[in-house]
Chain A
Amino acid sequence: MNCRRAEDMFIEYLYGELEPDRAELLRAHLDECLVCRTRLAELVRVRQLAAQIPDAEPSPMAINRVIARAREEEERTRSIWGFRWVKVLAPLCLAVVIGGLVAYQFRAGLAPKPMVYAPAKKEQRPAVQEPLPAPEPEKKFSPPAARDAGKLIAPAAPKPASRGVALPPPPPAEPGAREAAPPQPAADLAASRPAGPEAFTSGGGEAPPADRLSAQPGEAEQPAVGAGRAPLPAAAGPPRAKAVVRDKAMTPAAGEKLEGSIPSLLKEGESSLEAGRYGEAGQAFSQALNFLRPGDPDRPRALLGLARAQEGQKDLTTAIQTYRELARESSAHRDLAEQKIQELSAEVK
């Protein structure tokens, strides 16, 4: 190694950054070269002196300002993050709470349930509803008020099969009563009126006509044929009387209120229909139909609205049945109804 190459290594050697093998070479040269050894010794001494030059210190004010800025920034970041979280979490929490409430109401049956009206089908009338002569003693125990007034017209449901005897037909209703409005035999009554689970369905119960609501809940819970009879199986017949009691909305007071609001129900149904909210429209028309007897001037309007709602919901079979009922009940709408029946039947096929 010559002196020039050795001098090139001085700085790295001085600051301890020379690789060990090169450092070894330099040390070997320094052992032999007095000039390089002296030069390096001078640099070491100068370096030691230079290292003694003291650092300047920033003023405490400058340090404090920097620390204050760091804390400010930390606070700001924290508050920004907090705000962001609030912005995200607040609507989320609100949505969860509202969703939970709605789900709870639906599960608990507290929310108003959709009432779907469907016209009755004669062929669906359960065979067990064939009237049999009622035993005299049972008639004696039937609630006189309800029987005499013809207000409690729960369709007779069959007894459990084990009893082996079908229930007697309900007592004939008064001519003015809704169920008996078209003078028909009791056996046909259930067929002409919505009867059976698919007729008036409102989830937890069905909406009875207003005139039936005048029966006391206590009476309604009893079988029409009298006291002492075991509760009827729900599947065997429409549990109307029970529904009256179960559904608080169908208390007599509520029934009167609903009956008084038929025009508003119809308007509501029609506006829902126009807005394309067929579910709500069907519900409104179904509720109105619960209080509209055949022959009522508003009944065709409700039937037509319901049929359209069912059509809108693509429930074409039910819509056809509703149009049939409309055609049967209203001569003014017969042509329209028959045309729609034809169209929908073709569509179903």
Chain B
Amino acid sequence: MEISYYPGCALHGSAREYDESTRAVAKLLGAELRELPDWNCCGASSAHASSEALAFDLANRNLSIARQQGMDLVVPCAACFSRLRAALSEADSLKEGQKGNLRVLSLPDFFLSAGLLDALASCEKRSLQGLKAVCYYGCLLVRPPKVTGAAHHEFPQGMDRLMELIGVETLPWSHKTDCCGGSLALTRTDIVLALTGRLLEEARRAGAEAVIVACPLCQSNLDSRQHDIASGGGTRYDMPIFYFTELIGISLNHKDASRWLKRHLVDPTKVLASKGLSLR
């Protein structure tokens, strides 16, 4: 099975472990990700905030390339996903009611599609039993529902289902779709610290030993701010923030797993070791 793949800038930069783990586990589960040739910025950063037309055109160019490839498009970054989905519905409406047949999928939804889910369910894997975690979806992965098409935008469960399949105990918590402050990462760090601090606190209260995400901005925010929070006199959380693809990779005992995890600021290997999970 082949599908077009739009990594976006983060996955080529700060979130390389998300890119690598995604490609690795997809391959193990029998899916070939074909990176979109000559892709450009999705417009999520400055374009989106400054020019409506530019925001659409940037995203739409990527969609046009995807259409030429003739395959559905999977987008691992939640911000890219949101921009591309928004452009897709706009493009579809421009065609006066004629919907195109290009589908743009978020990464969790791609893994939840029948083929991959079955492959994951039936393949040989290690159970991550004992690992207590909360799944954190953030804002753009599921909202607004008109753009994302999410059926449960207030209480998404897709990532939880995937994680349960590999034995993670996903805990109920009420903050799955709260904002992490990703878009204010550079401009208003005070707000970001407050928001991430709160998310980490709630995750801890829920009994989580880790937070699982599907967005490079959420990951970097939650991962990198822990130091600032602690040094600012706040709690030292030491809460590892996993990409869900990394955990699937660990469950499938992928050889590169330890390389991915090395890029994290909060060391995730300790909690894995405490569950008796060694990395190859």
The answer to whether A and B assemble together is no
